[in-house]
A = this chain, B = another copy of it.
Amino acid sequence: MPYYTIGVDFGTLSGRAVLVDISNGHVCASSVLNYAHKVIDKVIPKTDIELEHDFALQDPQDYLTVLQHTVNEVVVASGIHPDLIIAMAIDFTACTLVPVDANNIPMSFYPEFRENPHAWVKLWKHHAAQKYADELNHLAHQERTSWIDRYGGKISSEWLFPKLLQVLREDYNLYQKIDNFLEATDWVTSQLTGNIVRSTCTLGYKAIYHHEEGFPSSSFFKKLDERMEHVIDEKIKGVFKNVGESAGTLNQKWATLLGLSEKTIVAVGNVDAHVSAPAVQVIKPGQMLMIMGTSTCDILLSTIEKKVPGMCGVVYNGAIPGYYAYESGQSAVGDIFAWFVDHYISKETHEDAAREGLDIHTYLEKKASQMTVGESGLLALDWFGGNRSILVDADVQGMILGMTLHTKPEEIYRALIESTAFGKRMIIENYLNNGVEVNELFVCGGLANKNQMLLQIYADVLNKEIKMADSEHTPALGSAIFAAVAAKEMSGYQDVLKASQHMARIKDYVIKPIPENVERYHQLYAEFVTLHDYFGRGTNAVMKRLKRMKGNHQ
């Protein structure tokens, strides 16, 4: 009997559903829908209320709209009988934080809170909680906590407690009315089942939770803020389960909305990065998956737990059962190229592209591909969205140097791509220097599918072969894999390894480094490292000082 599962992947700007044949991972139908409100970073919708610098919010209603529309569409389009669709699972950006009341309703749904920025979902790239992260980190080191080293010595401003602390400090009245802070992945899953189940994956990476040690102590939280002594009991509610487990079955409302059976099993919510590993057969130690999109996230499997400074976290069973999964990442990657291409390409360059019948990205890629390594004389730092790994610092910014009056747009475009590859090499060398092996590289994500030159640059800068996902929907496929595992009694897949062996999809060719480029990039990388340390490690903290001056204008 052929069975099917559905995976739904919620990204930064859109969500997509796939309906997958569990025998071979074939995607029978897929559907994508953009969020109506995209990223809310300027004004609160339908108001004139301007947001402060570094705010990045979303409207949870957009998630429900996307969920209903895309799942419905794949069910209808595939023509598969609902009884054969045995399970579904969702994955999400994280930490994307939904503040809800006792009825599990997002605070921003209430008219009385709609004008309050803190009632809205704080998207992963909301960086306005940096000072609270700084405070938390300072205390963690002062108290010599054991857990801080699991997170590379720094808790990111993007994570749960800095964001929660921001709400508490900036609007304690609202904070008191919030009953629970849920990861969006857990909140959407709870809508489907009616049960509040929290994934230990997001808890581990984003909420300082350890499968044996639990959370930081209540005395730690009390020192951070008197009012946080009981924060875990008061604000982090729900049942904890591991990824691959079942969170329940579809409730009547959503079974009807989606056109599925109430028997459909819903797996525990997952994170878009981590969920992707089995979808590209990243299932062994030393394998690293780079998920490349607006930002980039890396998942590295290992048998050992090491204290690696500047990575985002290491969680046992975090991606594949039985292994430690290290997470690291770059806050802005595709976002940087989009910034440049959307706002800094002249009419003339657009016309040149049109003359060649190419869209602007393809045109720039073509021109940049014809350049040799070092030909532009440019070097950039990829910190346009701050630096997640290995500096864990939202207060640094981008830099480009080497411009002359002859510098061309395609040269800047290539330099920006190269800067992200150098940032990646910094991350990999940091693992190696700390005793964690990185043997094989895999890539997935929208950016990797679209840009051949980018992958060649990465192979050359990293001096490693790169294997590619053979799916445009890798995270959603990963969710479908986890759904199949959650429904193991029907699927027959006892664990993720087994499901991955049947359902993963990778291309049958690899990108190989070009020795001449490797050598030249080695030189450029040395320059990158010098500037990285100069601007990033405090020798010249000009970026922080400029940001402070900028802040004074708010």
| Chain B min CB distance to A359 (Å) | 14
Interface of A is mostly: mixed
Residues A496-554 near B (CB distance < 8 A): 520, 523-524, 527, 530-531, 534-535, 540, 542-543, 545-547, 549-550, 552-553
Known interface pairs A374-B550, A400-B403, A523-B545; 17 further A-B residue pairs with C-beta atoms within 8 A, sorted by A's residue number: A41-B406, A335-B405, A339-B405, A339-B407, A343-B409, A344-B409, A346-B347, A374-B546, A374-B552, A377-B397, A377-B546, A377-B547, A400-B400, A401-B543, A402-B543, A520-B549, A531-B542
Complex formed: what's the CA distance from A406 to B546 in Å? 15
- Which stretch (A100-108, A175-183, A237-245, A378-386) binds chain B? A378-386
A342 located at the interface, meaning its Cβ lies under 8 Å from any Cβ of chain B in the complex: yes
This chain's copy number in the assembly: 2
Q: Which B residues are in CB contact (< 8 Å) with A343?
A: 346, 348-349, 408-409
Kindly report which residue of chain B lies nearest to residue A41, judged by CB atoms: B406
Complex formed: what's the CA distance from A277 to B310 in Å? 58
Query: Counting chain B CB atoms within 10 Å of each CB, which of A378, A406, A523 scores highest?
Result: A406
- CB within 8 Å for A401 and B342 given contacts A377-B550, A550-B376, A553-B374: no
Complex formed: what's the CA distance from A409 to B381 in Å? 19
Contact partner, A542, options B345, B379, B385, Cβ 8 Å: B379
A375 located at the interface, meaning its Cβ lies under 8 Å from any Cβ of chain B in the complex: yes
Is A384 a contact partner of B398 (Cβ separation < 8 A)?
no
* Residue positions of A touching B, CB distance < 8 A: 41, 53, 332, 335-336, 339, 342-350, 372, 374-379, 381, 384-385, 397-409, 520, 523-524, 527, 530-531, 534-535, 540, 542-543, 545-547, 549-550, 552-553
Is A401 a contact partner of B405 (Cβ separation < 8 A)?
no
Complex formed: what's the CA distance from A378 to B397 in Å? 9
Is A342 a contact partner of B346 (Cβ separation < 8 A)?
yes
| Chain B min CB distance to A493 (Å) | 40
Kindly report which residue of chain B lies nearest to residue A348, judged by CB atoms: B343
Is A524 a contact partner of B543 (Cβ separation < 8 A)?
no
Q: Which B residues are in CB contact (< 8 Å) with A540?
A: 530-531, 534
